[in-house]
Structures are given as structure tokens and as C-alpha cells.
Amino acid sequence: MKLNRRAFVGTGMAAATLSAPMVHAASHGKPKVVVVGGGAGGATAARYIAKDAAGEIDVTLIEPSRSYYTCFFSNLYIGGFRELDSIEHSYGTLASEYGINVVHDWATGVDRDAKTVSLAGGGSVPYDRLILSPGIDFVDGAVPGWDVSAQNAMPHAYKGGSQTELLKAQIMAMPEGGTYVMVAPPNPYRCPPGPYERVSMVAHVLKANNPTAKIIIADPKAKFSKQALFEEGWNTHYSGMIERIGPDFGGENVSVDPAAMTVDIDGEVVKADVVNVIPAQKAGLICEAAGLTEGNWAPVSGHTMQSRLDENIHILGDATNQGDMPKSGFSANSQAKVAAMAVRGALTGSRVFPAKFSNTCWSLIDTNDGVKVGATYEATDEKIAKVDGFVSQTGEDAALRQATYEESIGWDEGITTDMFG
């Protein structure tokens, strides 16, 4: 099966309709929606509100970057399967074809009483409904010895763009027989299979260019997403190259020294040529600044993606504590449509459908060796709850694995069109 744009139009909707109470705009004229964050959640929400409201709602999208680099498929760039420009996207169509006011600036705070978003460049933007989709930030001190000032020496590459380019360049410059160390994150974090697909892509590059190199994963988790599939693939394609050190052997007790390029794993110091530190994560900082987090994440209602702390704010994607859905681009895109529908219902009285969600995460292990995991979900009063799921199986034949990889290419084309038009 190949996915395309049509596969995304229906996610987030169900068959029955509900009536939505109409909320009149606090400001004069059209109601105003402000969206913070232009990724899989924010760009999708902005486009769907603008598209379906047909001019009845003013939509502003606040995003500091003029080009958006997707995290999904960034590992394939590292592996040499994609060019960097294939994961780069512009906001031009959202402005020119959908009338969205795209503001390239940082949102630094939210005045929930005045209903305004403050900007780093000065001034503020008023809203009747606010959608926050800021992605993730890193927990301070999560990996002793590392902070963002060390990201050039030891990149995280867990936000697409320059960090991804840097990590690839470091891998290509490794000396013969060198060592790549990944410090993997604890749960929960963005894209559960992501670190292990990255290891696969690094191994793919090293096998071709530096076959005596070694990969070490220091992992605080006892198990990880698609573990049996990755371990089968590593044994098949990269036998002897990858060593994973889990918590039973000190994988949760890690510190780094960026100046010395060393990693201390439970007292054993490893001298490395490349160190990829992926720290523990939390909701994007704007959520905390707005007082919308409990612990590291922002709690939301699955019915509408409204914050449980402010009914005039909806929060999407990686930043949320919503229940069973993983933190992924597919999840954020699915949640965005539920939020967009709820926002239009509240502001214009349009019909609102019961929330339904879906997610699939594809991973590439080696050339044409694609695997996936996914599920469907529904909203309950308590959380977004998993209904059913699926996962690739070990021992699948080459034709099925290739078809799975090709399916992921169709999905990428579909979701990026769904996000950016």
C-alpha cells in the first residue's frame, strides 16, 4: 500500500456530528486564532482552520524558522537515502494560498488573562483561541557534562536542520576504525524508534565507508520501540558493529566530557570520535512559560486537545501529556485536525465530530528494509486511548520490507502536503 495526501484528510474525524457552542470573538471583527510552532502539529492546524473556515477566522502562525526541516526522514539524510533539501519546507504556500499571517519570530510568553502572545522582537499578538505546538526542549542537567552549549561538539540532532548536517559531517569525518557513541534518551521522548533508526543509518554509512568502526549505544531503557526488529536487522546487516549497553550494565549511569570527547558509562570511560547525546525531553518552553505544564508535559483533553488548565488554549504533539499516543509527527498531524475542528466549532458554530486519531511510525534499517508500528486511538474523558495496533514481524521477506519502505515514502509526501499545502 502506498500512502498519499488522501490518507490524511480523514484522520481526526468520525461519522456522527455534535453541535458546538459558538464563542464570539473577544476582539472586534473576525475571531482570531494564533498558532505557535510551524511543525507537523502547528502548520497542519493553521492550514485546516484557514482552509475550512473560508475566511471567517483570522489565522496567525508564529514560527521563528523560515525553512522547516522535518525530523522524520532526517535519519535517512544521515544514511544517504535523502538529500537535505528533500526534508526542507517553506511557509510560503500557507501565506499565499491560505491567507495565513506567518510571523517569523519567537513566542516568548502568553498572557492568558489578556489573551495575547508576546514576541521576542517586541509587541504581542491577540487571540481568541491559541494553539501551542512547540515540540520539545531538553531537560537541564539530564546528561551530566552536557548542555546546549556543547551541541557543536556532541550534537543531539533531535531537531532537524543544522544539527542533522553537523552530525552527518562528523560521521563522515570519523577516522578508520573510530567509535560513535549514542547516549539514548529515557521515556517519554520524541519519536520512540528514532534513535534506533539513526543507529541503523549510521551503521549503513559506516559499513560502506568505515567498516571497522564501532557503534555504542548507552541506553537507560530496558526495552525500546521495535526492538526485536532492529536487533534482527543489526545482526543481519551490521553484525559485530553495534553494541547496546542497557540499564542492567550501566546504560542509565552516563556522563560526558565534550572537551575530551569521552563518555563515562557506569565508570568505564570510552574515548569517542562522535558522540550523539539525545537528552531527556520536556514540552517546548512556551508551555512552561504559559503555566500550562504539570511536570515536564502539558496535560490536554483528547476530545479537543484543549489544555486541562486553560480552555482557550489547545496544545498539540510532542509537548502534550495526552495518553497512549507516541510523540511523533504523524500523531501531531492527527491531533491538529481534531484541534482545528474544535476551534472552528467554538468560534464559528461549525459541526464538530467525535475525535479519532491514528499513528504509524516507519523506520529504515538498511536499503529497502523498512519496518513499521502503528495504532488507532479514540478520545475518552481520561485520555487518548489505544483501540488497536500493528507492528512488522521478524522474518518478513524482502518484498514486504521493500513495500513497507515505499509506503513510508508515500506517507512523507502526503503529510508534508497536508502540513504546508
Q: Determine the CATH number of domain 142-277.
A: 3.50.50.60
Question: Where do the structural domains in the chain lie, given as residue ranges?
Answer: 6-137+281-420, 142-277
pLDDT for residue 26:
45
| Other CB atoms within 10 Å distance of the CB of residue 162 | 13
Q: How many helices (H) and strands (E) does the chain have?
A: 10, 25
Q: What is d(CA 129, CA 124) in angstroms, rounded to the nearest whole number?
A: 15
Q: Give the CA angle between residues 252, 255, 259 to the nearest 5°.
A: 155
Give the global pTM. Answer: 0.93
Per-residue pLDDT of 125-149, as tens digits, reads 999 999 999 999 999 999 999 999 9
pLDDT for residue 418:
98
pLDDT for residue 123:
94
Low-confidence ranges of the chain (pLDDT < 50): 1-11, 13-27
What are the grid coordinates assigned to 419, written together?
A: 502540513
Are 347 and 408 in contact, with CB atoms under 8 Å apart? no
Spelled out in words, what is the top-level CATH class assigned to the domain 6-137+281-420? alpha beta
pLDDT for residue 30:
95
Are 6-137+281-420 and 142-277 equal in CATH topology? yes
Are 256 and 303 in contact, with CB atoms under 8 Å apart? no
pLDDT for residue 232:
98
* DSSP string of 111-149, one letter each residue: ETTTTEEEETTS-EEE-SEEEE---EEEPTTSSTT--GG
pLDDT for residue 409:
98
pLDDT for residue 28:
56
pLDDT for residue 199:
99
The set of residues, in sequence order, having a beta carbon less than 8 Å from that of 329 and lying 6+ positions away, is 39, 40, 70, 71, 72, 191, 317, 415
Distances from the Cα of 89 to the Cα of 74, 78, 86, 248, angstroms = 13, 18, 8, 42
pLDDT for residue 379:
98
Q: What is d(CA 246, CA 229) in angstroms, rounded to the nearest whole number?
A: 17
What are the grid coordinates assigned to 289, written together?
A: 512559560
SS (H, E, C) 253-311: CEEEECCCCEEEECCEEEECCEEEECCCEEECHHHHHCCCCECCEEEECCCCCEECCEE
The set of residues, in sequence order, having a beta carbon less than 8 Å from that of 91 and lying 6+ positions away, is 38, 43, 61, 63, 66, 68, 102, 420
* DSSP string of 197-239, one letter each residue: HHHHHHHHHHHHH-TT-EEEEE---SS-TTHHHHHHHHHHHST
Q: Give yes or no for a cis peptide into 188 (omega within 30° of 0).
A: yes
Are 344 and 1 in contact, with CB atoms under 8 Å apart? no
